[in-house]
Amino acid sequence: MKIGIIGSGFIGGTLVRNLTALGHEVRFSNSRDPETLAELASETGATAVWAADAAQDADLVILSIPQKNVPDLAPGIASARKPGAPIVETNNYYPQQRDGLIEEIEGGTPESVWVSQQLGEPVVKAFNGIWYKHLLEKGVPAGTEGRIALPIAGDDEDSKKFVFSVIDALGFDPFDAGTLAQSWRQQPGTPVYGKDFGVDAAIEALSQATVERSAEWKA
Ligand SMILES: NC(=O)c1ccc[n+]([C@@H]2O[C@H](COP(=O)([O-])OP(=O)(O)OC[C@H]3O[C@@H](n4cnc5c(N)ncnc54)[C@H](OP(=O)(O)O)[C@@H]3O)[C@@H](O)[C@H]2O)c1
């Protein structure tokens, strides 16, 4: 399938590598000239493009950039994807280390709901809680003991199913973590965040999450 990736750092770059390895046609971008991505393009065979062109005709779009930079994206950046193609976003709000204050999120808007509002598009939340190195290296076939589970939140069942199949092919156990409004359960600071749990432990961890942001995760 055709996959467009906006943001090609630790997570986006890992997905460029692993999705091209699965045979997908990947176009990927950062905030600069695609020439700056020549090395990763030649390593993987993926095509480096301007961010504004990454989603062109894509079956799947992945957005993986610092939360604070989402409002900088060009309006309609994902609108040239195929009709109904899901947009996965991997982002986290790191107010103290990177993003500064985003008032709506501090006020209780789930991080992915805020991203969806900025884009004016539905999104599916995935990959936000796995360290990039584990995403790069720890994928294993379905049924393998210790396979890492990844929670997927979103409002459109078909989009979620589609994303499930991509995550399974990457070597992880996708599971339904509910709607985008419920996706605060997998944000930074929650029991599931950053843990390499299997499905049962991950579901239990989601159920133990509390909605208040801890001091560490406030601006
Ligand atoms: N690192 C992890 O293990 C990890 C795990 C899960 C989730 N996350 C989350 O996933 C997101 C990406 O994390 P990361 O660690 O991959 O970040 P990163 O290594 O800092 O990479 C960020 C990427 O986003 C690009 N970018 C920034 N602003 C952009 C814009 N306006 N348009 C297009 N591209 C833009 C950057 O391009 P330039 O180089 O041109 O600035 C860079 O390619 C973050 O929200 C992070 O919290 C990270």
What pLDDT is stored for residue 33 in this prediction? 98
HEC assignment per residue over the chain: CEEEEECCCHHHHHHHHHHHHCCCEEEEECCCCHHHHHHHHHHHCCEECCHHHCCCCCCEEEECCCHHHHHHCCCCCCCCCCCCCCEEECCCCCHHHHHCCCHHHHCCCCHHHHHHHHHCCCCEECCCCCCHHHHHHCCCCCCCCCCCEEEEECCCHHHHHHHHHHHHHHCCEEEECCCHHHHHHHCCCCCCCCCCCCHHHHHHHHHHCCCCCCHHHCC
Q: Which residue, judged by its Cα, is nearest atom 14 of ligand 1?
A: 10
What pLDDT is stored for residue 71 in this prediction? 98
**188 Ramachandran zone, left/alpha/beta (phi>0; psi -120 to 50):** beta
Q: How far is the CA of 98 from the centre of ligand 1 (A)?
A: 11
Q: Distance between CA atoms of 130 and 136, rounded to whole angstroms? A: 10
Pocket test of ligand 1: the residue of 30, 36, 94, 186 to mutate, having most ligand atoms within 8 Å of its CB, is: 30
Instruction: Tell me how crowded residue 107 is: count the other CB atoms within 10 A of its CB.
Output: 8
Q: Which residue, judged by its Cα, is nearest atom 27 of ligand 1?
A: 65
What pLDDT is stored for residue 104 in this prediction? 98
Positive or negative, the Cα torsion across 149, 133, 116, 25? negative
Q: Distance between CA atoms of 48 and 36, rounded to whole angstroms? A: 9
Residues in the chain, pLDDT under 50: none
| Amino acid occupying residue 57 | D
What pLDDT is stored for residue 58 in this prediction? 99
What pLDDT is stored for residue 215 in this prediction? 95
Q: Does the CB atom of residue 95 touch ligand 1 within 6 A? A: no
What pLDDT is stored for residue 149 in this prediction? 98
Q: Does the CB atom of residue 118 touch ligand 1 within 6 A? A: no
pLDDT one-digit tens code per residue, 98-135: 999 999 999 999 999 999 999 999 999 999 999 999 99
What pLDDT is stored for residue 103 in this prediction? 98
Who's near 212: CB < 8 A, 6+ residues apart? none
Name the pTM for this structure: 0.99
Q: Does the CB atom of residue 10 touch ligand 1 within 6 A? A: yes
What pLDDT is stored for residue 89 in this prediction? 98
What pLDDT is stored for residue 114 in this prediction? 98
Q: Does the CB atom of residue 208 touch ligand 1 within 6 A? A: no
Q: Does the CB atom of residue 69 touch ligand 1 within 6 A? A: yes
Who's near 103: CB < 8 A, 6+ residues apart? none
What pLDDT is stored for residue 140 in this prediction? 98
What pLDDT is stored for residue 66 in this prediction? 98
